[in-house]
Structure 1
């Protein structure tokens, strides 16, 4: 029912107060809007590198299409498109990475090149918290990052609640684990293959190209697969699929949270189902357009991956702390 569907943020009101719930909703909205802007910007860079069209033309094409089908189809459209999009994402990544490794003489050569270039590091136990990658910050920081994503993020929780039974939701979450491991692994392998190809000549220093570090993968795709008609397009469709999946779920969750925590809480509590549907669609369009506009800000945040992790840490962390406070402590001052 509706109450259970939006229990995530209603918990804050029942545990603390309506004000805390509203503040939680605002924090979530800020986090998702900025994150969606980053997610729109990343594939736009890829499309710009592969096709030569401008970044903003790519942003508009992705953002408007995603906003349209999310506002029209709602959660059902999000779930079904996610299924096809993740399939395209995996296919494109596997094709690009394994073809690139074959061109470099196989995985043994790729690994040896990265070892010689000191790109492989597994067991760094440096206690210095300012060191970028150590066992400690990956284990501890990664733990809180993923708990925030899978535990207190409305965009993820609404996916669970789209499944009819608790057992089904639990099964889907367990199936997500190996899929996520494979995706992260293939992404790391992509980095190894890219380094193996360009370790003797840094493409960022090429004077005839104005590249950012986020455009290395698309450049690599064109070098490896550019002679095969259609395969660069497969890669672009895979990258777009990941972006569309994230943005569609973000837009849908933001519209739902705004309807429940703002419209029904402060404006009109007994709104009809017809008008609730209409307002949700309008809100989805508005949030989609805001995310498109904020791409201008995302361009100033530097490396795309680092910017995304920073957003989840700076904004998602306090939200996780708020839920943890309610669950583990009987009172707070």
Structure 2
């Protein structure tokens, strides 16, 4: 890297600080955590996508496709679940939470069930989100160590300090508009890497001649995922539906964007846009991984620069070796942007949940000044906790994208089941909901700790089924437990639901047809 690259990086970081200063004026918690519910749905769409299609996807999805042993375009089958999950969320889940006017989605569970339910599921979120974010920061720090020559703790500081300042000062507006900028940079970065990779390979014809044919498989119907991590279609589809619906609908870091939309109509537009646009973005990542992975595997000197069993180094090493001065700086900014997007979202959402929990436990209604002061302090505290955790995080899967989704798969099924039980049933009682949630998480944790051969994507569906069935049975045994039924809101028509199901079916056809087309071109 040259002085020009470092100047580009410094300019970008100063721009983020300026954004935090520009949005520093908030008058209440709605302004700080929900942007006053005045944020445009296109910006929210980019922010939602940036949070998940960030560092994990920009770095790790290409690594999974191009370099991971047993990887390939099979990752695309994961995307088939999103349109169906969006239909599930828009049916009643997110419109009901939006209408409730809550800052923390877990506030709804207190209103429907009890304070203990809220605190239990809030604790689940805080543990899973801080741990998952720490894993991501740890991985990106290692990558920056390889590209910029920074020590690990220097890399963590570079990611953390700037993010802490602009997100704590600017609240949700700074997070959303920062994410939107970062998403644009990430997309441009992926497109540049694909173009340069193709040029280095001599075009698509050479890539198709040299690519490992096994990596072209995008749909695996030969396995049910009961005997290892074989990424079969069934676990990717059914587990993915639960994972996506829970992540976008019940995880505060994502659902907070939905709560920030000005109306249910804007909420619908945002989620429909995510359902339509996410697959093309993921396809861009996967194709860049296919091209660059083929380049690495056919270029021994390049392959030697990637540490053994560390496929996530593929993209950073490619960037530093093949891109010209200036472009390297922009791409390193894209990597920083990706990491900061995930961290800023985690900081803001963790602060929202913990501050709301704190005041509820103390049964205090604070004035706006006191609330905003504590909110900023909580954001800084969670940022520091996450950064400290990242210093000690280790590898739990071959690629970061698998590690993050594996962590979530322990919790997402039980969380979604609890929310849906609250919205769609009258008879599930508070005590039964708590028992079901604890049972679902415990079963999934045991599957992980006992190294079960069941593919971890199934954990989402298993946790969902265990939580819901246990809650229903416990309700029959606890008939006198206090119950509340809150009004629900429907946000999707039958025609829109059928459109999303049709889009998912079309994507399945594309995933089957695309590899065959590529093979026929060889």
TM normalised by structure 1 equals 0.91
- Over 3 Å counting, the alpha-carbon distance change for 1:136 and 1:105 in structure 2 is same
Which residue, out of 159, 171, 174, partners 1:74? 171
User: Cα deviations across residues 129-164 of structure 1 (Å, max 9, x unaligned)?
Assistant: 224211112211221111111111111121122222
1:234 corresponds to: 330
Alpha-carbon distance, 1:190 to partner: 2.1
What does 1:1-333 correspond to in 2, within 5 Å?
4-6=101-103, 8-116=105-213, 118-125=214-221, 126-129=223-226, 130-200=228-298, 206=304, 210=307, 212-225=310-323, 228-261=324-357, 263-302=358-397, 303-329=399-425, 330-331=427-428, 332=472, 333=474
C-alpha distance in structure 2 between counterparts of 1:151 and 1:132, whole Å:
27
Where 2:217 maps in the other structure, the secondary structure is: coil
C-alpha distance in structure 1 between counterparts of 2:104 and 2:156, whole Å:
33
Alpha-carbon distance, 1:109 to partner: 2.5
TM normalised by structure 2 equals 0.59
C-alpha distance in structure 1 between counterparts of 2:132 and 2:229, whole Å:
25
User: Cα deviations across residues 157-196 of structure 1 (Å, max 9, x unaligned)?
Assistant: 2112222222112112222233322221121112201221
C-alpha distance in structure 2 between counterparts of 1:94 and 1:205, whole Å:
22
- Over 3 Å counting, the alpha-carbon distance change for 1:300 and 1:186 in structure 2 is same
Unaligned runs of 5+ in 2: 1-28, 31-99, 429-471, 475-522
Where 1:5 maps in the other structure, the secondary structure is: coil
2:510 corresponds to: none
Alpha-carbon distance, 1:205 to partner: 7.1
User: Cα deviations across residues 246-297 of structure 1 (Å, max 9, x unaligned)?
Assistant: 1111111111111112x21112522111100000000000000001011133
Does the CA-based 8 Å contact 2:189-2:330 persist in structure 1? yes
C-alpha distance in structure 1 between counterparts of 2:272 and 2:224, whole Å:
32
Does the CA-based 8 Å contact 1:28-1:316 persist in structure 2? no
C-alpha distance in structure 1 between counterparts of 2:158 and 2:327, whole Å:
20
Alpha-carbon distance, 1:204 to partner: 9.3
C-alpha distance in structure 2 between counterparts of 1:127 and 1:175, whole Å:
31
Where 2:219 maps in the other structure, the secondary structure is: coil
User: Cα deviations across residues 290-331 of structure 1 (Å, max 9, x unaligned)?
Assistant: 010111332343431121011110122321222133234432
- Over 3 Å counting, the alpha-carbon distance change for 1:11 and 1:202 in structure 2 is farther
C-alpha distance in structure 2 between counterparts of 1:317 and 1:219, whole Å:
36
Q: How many residues align?
A: 328
Unaligned runs of 5+ in 1: none
After superposing the two structures, state which structure 1 stretch, 59-68 or 176-185, moved more.
176-185
C-alpha distance in structure 2 between counterparts of 1:209 and 1:257, whole Å:
40
- Over 3 Å counting, the alpha-carbon distance change for 1:279 and 1:103 in structure 2 is same
- Over 3 Å counting, the alpha-carbon distance change for 1:320 and 1:279 in structure 2 is same
After superposing the two structures, state which structure 1 stretch, 309-318 or 5-14, moved more.
5-14
- Over 3 Å counting, the alpha-carbon distance change for 1:202 and 1:45 in structure 2 is farther
- Over 3 Å counting, the alpha-carbon distance change for 1:301 and 1:203 in structure 2 is farther
C-alpha distance in structure 1 between counterparts of 2:424 and 2:113, whole Å:
13
Does the CA-based 8 Å contact 1:145-1:312 persist in structure 2? yes
Choose 1 or 2 for highest CA Rg.
2
Structure ranking higher on relative contact order (CA contacts 8 Å, 6+ apart):
1
Does the CA-based 8 Å contact 1:150-1:156 persist in structure 2? yes
